[in-house]
A = this chain, B = another copy of it.
Amino acid sequence: MKRLFFLTIIAFFSIHSYSQNVNKDDSLVIKKIYDAALLEGKSYDWLDYLSNQIGGRLSGSLQAEKAVKYTELELKELGLDKVWLQPVMVPKWTRGAKEYAYIETAIGETSTTNICALGGSVSTPEGGLKAQVIEVTSLDEIEKLGEENIKGKIVFYNRPMQADLIQTFKAYGGCVDQRYAGAMEAAKYGAVGVVVRSMNLRKDDFPHTGSMTYGDLATHLRIPACAISTNGANYLSSTLKLQPKLKFYFNQTCKTFPDVQSYNVIGEITGTENPNKFIVVGGHLDSWDIGDGSHDDGAGVVQSMEVLRLLKKVNYKPKNSIRVVLFMNEENGLRGGKKYALDAKNKNEDHIFALESDAGGFTPRGFSFDCDEASFNKIVSWKPLFKQYLVHYFEKGGSGADIGPLKKDGIILSGLRPDSQRYFDYHHAASDIFEAVNKRELELGGAAMTSLVYLIDTYF
């Protein structure tokens, strides 16, 4: 009976807080935001420019510079209170000539296969690298196999993403250690190169790049690493079963240069009551170089810009200062995110909320929150306001890499959570292009973000 009473009380309070927070005026503001997003949105046009006029925006590239200039100009067009560039030094790694690879059987038959260098990898020796292959499915397996089985070989990491996980980011999290640390671990046992199965749930011919590390490994011990498409990985694996002594050849001419100057792009609507309290909404301006970075993270960039445009459009004057931050160098360094947080700390800027969109421009399902229980419960009480927009997911969870460095007591960090089923079809691959983004899905994400920012500004 005590339990019954307890449940009753909890239930009552949750209903009570729901009805308290579903304010008619809030509904009207949110309806205006959605209408403005869907009837006269700007995000899709911005994305078209970023993707088709600029293209892939790897840190330190000319395209990344162009993206800085373009978004600065577009933010200025919005008539924000301030727009500025925040300098940050970023790594510069270049892919070089198109990579090339083939599989060679014992009698010298060859079949080419699609690969791309992992971001940060060293090049192969001039003329390429050819060696026998050992297939593994985990980093642990490397340790068990030891130097005797690995020395002089190319290690082929082939653990696929788990298709039975509903949230594809969990499947990604369960595999990405192969890409990130595979070369570092294999090098320790004398491997000469690494081939990693692409982080992709589809069977197709696109290799997917992404960041990797050599850790503290001395420069002369670093070995080249590439990604192979899922079709290529399946072919290599089945061929190895027939011909364990086949050789894999690959050639890549990637190179790391000294760090170069770049920028975070920032725009602000200054708060009317608390100009020194800050709400941040952002995505990352850099992308990988083999697609045009439309989903990762062109979508997050234009949705974040759209948040400030929509707030102005519906004539909302925020209490707190609201900033859009287009972070540079999320993909291979996170320098922009770290720099922004460091500057904020040095200037004693009180950040109360930060929201990142970096999971693709798909239909928004909701948000994840990294914050204290009381704040989370307050936010969850707004769920009914989002119901008619089919935004239903309000759960505790991670936020976004770029805003992570802002974490401190009292801040609420949040991530937009779009539908994730198609994300890894495009992630870090040549298939991540403008045509893969649906205008309405993109716009609905911007509208959901704006609505959340409005509520946070109003009630926190």
Interface residues of A (CB under 8 A from B): 4, 7-12, 14-16, 34-35, 38-39, 163-164, 166-168, 201-202, 363, 365, 388-390, 392-393, 419, 421-422, 425, 438-441, 444
Contacts and interface: CB of A to CB of B under 8 A. Distances in A.
A395 B444 CA distance: 21
Shortest beta-carbon contacts, A-B, top 5: A11-B11, A392-B392, A8-B12, A421-B440, A38-B163
Contacts of A10: 15
A390 B365 contact: yes
9 contacts: A8-B9, A10-B15, A166-B388, A166-B444, A167-B390, A201-B440, A363-B421, A390-B393, A421-B441
A166 B30 CA distance: 13
B425 A164 contact: no
A422 B393 contact: no
B421 A164 contact: no
Binding site of A, secondary structure by majority: helix, strand, loop or mixed? helix
A359 to B, nearest CB: 14
A390 B421 CA distance: 11
A16 B422 CA distance: 37
Determine which residue in A167, A363, A444 has the highest number of CB atoms from chain B within 10 A of its CB, and name it. Answer: A363
Contact of A202 (B38, B392, B421, B439): B439
A12 B4 contact: yes
Residue of A166, A168, A201, A389 most packed against chain B (CB within 10 A): A166
A438 B419 contact: no
Contact of A444 (B35, B421, B444): B421
A10 B7 CA distance: 12
Contact of A15 (B11, B164, B202, B389): B11
Contacts of A168: 440
Nearest to A389: B166
